[in-house]
Amino acid sequence: MFKGINAIEFSKRFQTNKDCYEYLVSIKWANGYACSKCGCTESHKGRMFYYRRCKKCGYDESVTANTVFHGVKIPMLKAFHMVFRITSKKKGMSTIELGTEVGVQQKTAWLFKRKVQAVLNRDKNEKLNGDVHIDETLIGGFSSAVGRSTETKEALMVAVEILPDGRTGNLSLEHIESFKADELKFAIKKTVSNDAAIKTDAYHSYKKLAKEMSNITIQYSQKGSAMEELHKQIMQFKNWLRGTHHHCSSEYLFAYTAEYEYRFNRRNRRKGLFNDVLQRMIHQIPHPYNYLKTLCVYNT
């Protein structure tokens, strides 16, 4: 399996579409073949080297069938290059830059990147533990609205693990509808372990939650100095969104928070991200445009 972030080594490893298909074959059927139609585990050689033909029902299955790569119209080599650039760049890439480097239109790069972002979902058991600091913020630039209005901005709950030496562990970014106590409670239950020791500021919704959740401690923010590491991470996310992608519509904010969360929580495993993303794309269902739009509606 290819591991690394060196562009020269990547270019030597993947020079043709055949190299890419062979790599996908080694992932999809690593534990043996099983027909997706009848479940038979025996096969013949298919019509092309990256196909397998079932001995029982005769179904000729491509390595990209029933995967996120199904229906991708660009050459597989270009698709691999896009995955590599998305995962190897420390801060990722905008779709304009991605399309220019790989030689495809920006719309094509955008759609393929959305497919990649869609597989970067958090595992159900991947929750924050230990000492966890929580705050909320607004995304959307300048607004003339007074107070914490979500009329023109999007609300985000940010939770960060604080390690014993004061450094940041993992983080969670949860897109929420409002700052009401019930909304924050649902987001906390979804992203933070029940055994975690949670610290929040004195916002009235947290005070309400502290009465029913014994693991919440209230601490006055003191203009951010009380939970400095948490506010640092909030600013870094906003700077990443503005600096790398320049703009993000509210309907796709969930996709960019998922990408940032995935990238940040694996910052010490960057060399394995390319292979991990390909594994996810091979073992998840196809993501056509209408499916991605459904995800968008579901998460807004």
208 or 247, higher pLDDT:
208
Res. 295: pLDDT tops 70: no
Q: Which two tokens stand for residue 29?
A: 């059927």
**Which residue has 């096969």 as its token pair?**
43
- What is residue 143's predicted lDDT score, i.e. its pLDDT? 56
User: How many CA within 13 A on the CB side of residue 111?
Assistant: 17
**pLDDT over 90 percentage in the chain:** 69
How far is Cα 254 from Cα 159, in angstroms, rounded to an integer? 15
Helix (H) or strand (E) holding 173: strand 168-176
**pLDDT over 70 percentage in the chain:** 93
- Are the beta carbons of 179 and 155 closer than 8 angstroms? yes
- What is residue 144's predicted lDDT score, i.e. its pLDDT? 55
CA 159 to chain centre: 16
- Please state which of the ranges 78-92, 129-143, 195-209 shows the lowest mean pLDDT: 129-143
Res. 182: pLDDT tops 70: yes
Res. 296: pLDDT tops 60: no
Q: Which two tokens stand for residue 21?
A: 């298909």
pLDDT tens string 7-66: 999 999 999 999 999 999 999 999 999 999 999 999 999 999 999 999 999 999 999 999
Burial class (CB in 10 A: 0-12, 13-18, 19+), 130: middle
Res. 281: pLDDT tops 90: yes
How far is Cα 116 from Cα 295, in angstroms, rounded to an integer? 13
Query: Which 8-state DSSP code applies to residue 245?
Result: I
Res. 255: pLDDT tops 90: no
131 or 251, higher pLDDT:
131
CA neighbor of 156 nearest in space, from 123, 125, 131, 134: 134
pLDDT band, very low/low/confident/very high, at 298 (cuts 50, 70, 90): very low
Please report which residue ranges of 212-287 form alpha helices under DSSP H.
Answer: 228-240, 253-265, 273-282
How far is Cα 133 from Cα 179, in angstroms, rounded to an integer? 16
Domains defined for the chain, CATH in brackets: 1-7+78-119+253-300 (no CATH), 131-233 (3.30.420)
User: How many CA within 13 A on the CB side of residue 188?
Assistant: 26
- pTM value? 0.88
CA neighbor of 122 nearest in space, from 172, 169, 161, 160: 172
Res. 145: pLDDT tops 60: no
- Are the beta carbons of 84 and 10 closer than 8 angstroms? yes
> Mean pLDDT of all residues in the chain?
89
Query: Residue 34 CB: number of other CB atoms within 10 A?
Result: 15
- What is residue 195's predicted lDDT score, i.e. its pLDDT? 93
- Are the beta carbons of 201 and 221 closer than 8 angstroms? yes
pLDDT band, very low/low/confident/very high, at 222 (cuts 50, 70, 90): confident
User: How many CA within 13 A on the CB side of residue 19?
Assistant: 14
User: How many CA within 13 A on the CB side of residue 165?
Assistant: 2
Rounded to the nearest 5 degrees, what angle is found at the Cα of 270, between the Cα atoms of 65 and 86?
55
Q: Please give the average per-residue pLDDT across 194-214, as a whole number.
A: 93
Query: Which 8-state DSSP code applies to residue 48?
Result: S
- Are the beta carbons of 195 and 127 closer than 8 angstroms? no
Q: Please give the average per-residue pLDDT across 261-288, as a whole number.
A: 92
- What is residue 224's predicted lDDT score, i.e. its pLDDT? 64
- Please state which of the ranges 16-20, 95-99, 247-251, 255-259 shows the lowest mean pLDDT: 247-251
